[in-house]
Amino acid sequence: MLSLLDGQVPAAENHLALVDPIPDVLPPARAVVALNRAFLAVADKQPVQALAFLKAGEKLAVGNNAPWFNPKIIVLEGLAAWSVDDIVQAEKLFRTAIVARPTSEVPHIYLAQLLAAKTDATGAQAERDTAAAFHLFDQEAPVFAQSIVWVDPINGGIKRH
């Protein structure tokens, strides 16, 4: 996570890959690593890899009932869909994440960006306003890369929150 804060995506990817050979890592920890790798694959414009890591992370995360966990996965699914230009599915997933956790800033921000890209200025502004209202109250789980950096699903790359 510290590498991401410094904008060093390759270093973050290398650190996450170091978990693979470690024996007896609990499935929830491996799930977080896989989901973070999926997020970084979106940033790297590698949608096939993103989908593979996403599926692995989802499989390992089965049974996690933390209220913030599944909406994070749904947002990640939306980012992966958007990265391959499936904006209909991406919008649906961002809206699903909002229903699951309406006070989370993240799905509102990504939905605003997607609506702006679709030239829905009114909808985009409404989502930005909603995100701003929740900004101070949204306690992100810092174990997820998406909690500390934004990804550009179309052009790739990341930037700090």
DSSP string, 23-42: TT--HHHHHHHHHHHHHHHH
What's the structural domain count of the chain?
Answer: 1
- Domain range for 39 is 2-160
Per-residue model confidence as pLDDT tens digits over 3-27: 888 888 899 999 999 999 999 999 9
> Which residues have CB under 8 Å from 129's CB, separation 6+?
none
Do residues 71 and 94 touch, judged by C-beta distance below 8 A?
no
Average pLDDT over residues 21-37: 94
| Residue 42 to residue 74: CA distance in whole angstroms | 14
Do residues 130 and 110 touch, judged by C-beta distance below 8 A?
no
This prediction's pTM: 0.90
Q: What is the CATH number of the domain that holds 113?
A: 1.25.40.10
Per-residue model confidence as pLDDT tens digits over 113-154: 999 999 999 999 999 999 999 876 556 557 888 888 999 999
| Residue 131 to residue 134: CA distance in whole angstroms | 5
Average pLDDT over residues 30-44: 96
- Looking at the DSSP bridge assignments, the partners of residue 149 are 160
